[in-house]
Amino acid sequence: MKIAVIGDGGWGTTLAVHLQKKGNNVFLWGAFPDYVEFMRQKRENKKFLPGIEIPHELGLTGDIEEAVHAAKMVVLAVPSHFMRGVLQQFPSRKWDDTIFISVSKGIENDTLKRMSEVIGETVRPKKVAVLSGPSHAEETARGIPTSVVVASRDHEDAKAVQTIFSSPSFRVYSSTDVVGVELGGSLKNVIAIAAGISDGLGFGDNSKAALMTRGIAEMMRLGVALGGKPQTFSGLSGIGDLITTCISRHSRNRNFGEMIGNGKSVEEALRSTEMVVEGFRTAKSVHQIYSRTNVKMPIAEEAYKVLYEGKKPLKAVEDLMMRDLKAEAEGA
């Protein structure tokens, strides 16, 4: 099967190599032709996935039309804020026989669209799926056992993706809850920034455990309000991804938050990495969403104020801790 992987970051490269090793004909597309040529010569993505060999059989291209020509599957691994622009470069044709899979974890600013919705609005394929879960590229690429979930409204499409992606080191579960799986993967990045701020401030396990526990409650409240299933947030794309992103040294969002907790400005923290910190932009989208739906998300709200309104992290913590007391079952 020909598979196009769009986006040559760490995760896109990992999935391209994984799918190629499973015997597929894979093309990996990157936005910068000079860097694509560098990878073609070195057979390594030194910038985003150092130490992992790119098989010679895996095609590398800066031409989207070449990448997607005759592809039966298109894996979209570009950052959420670039997704619409990249999809607008796709050739204008019917995609009835091609399944599009988003592995991007973010919510578009201003439109507040999930990535599956952006895909639907732009290329209008009949088959769309989303893949999410606790899956750092640095570990998955090295064959460390990883489990994720793929969701599609059509259960047969989800099962098809499940079969193609699954391997002895990469276990894929299926779901029909596209909304819940997408929101779980997106919302956890905001909570992970807060977890990083907690680390940067020098807090300990008590603080992080409370933050993660109350964070998943916030994620579930908003997810259910937007049409997701509550049980999804107890699964891999919810609590599973939240745990990994809040504790891992590989987590861009946690590391970004830690820099802010250590005293760096938001701008300094953003400039310190070439990696995309999805939670930074998602925090803005989430703020708009819960403001409109009246869902209470106090952790996300304080994270937004730190990131966009210049609030001091310690003051944000104080305000979280000193809210009105209530029973745990009440929620916020």
Active site residues: 188
Tell me the C-alpha distance between 147 and 132, whole Å: 9
The structure tokens listed for 330 are 């009440």
Helices and strands in the chain, H and E counts: 15, 10
Strand pairing category for 49-53 and 44-45? antiparallel
| Ranges of H-type helices in 166-265 | 178-200, 205-225, 241-247, 252-261
Report residue 299 CA to chain centroid gap.
19
**Cβ atoms of 114 and 183 closer than 8 Å:** yes
Alpha-carbon span 275 to 273, nearest angstrom:
5
Hey, CA dihedral for 94, 130, 220, 112, is it positive or negative?
Answer: negative
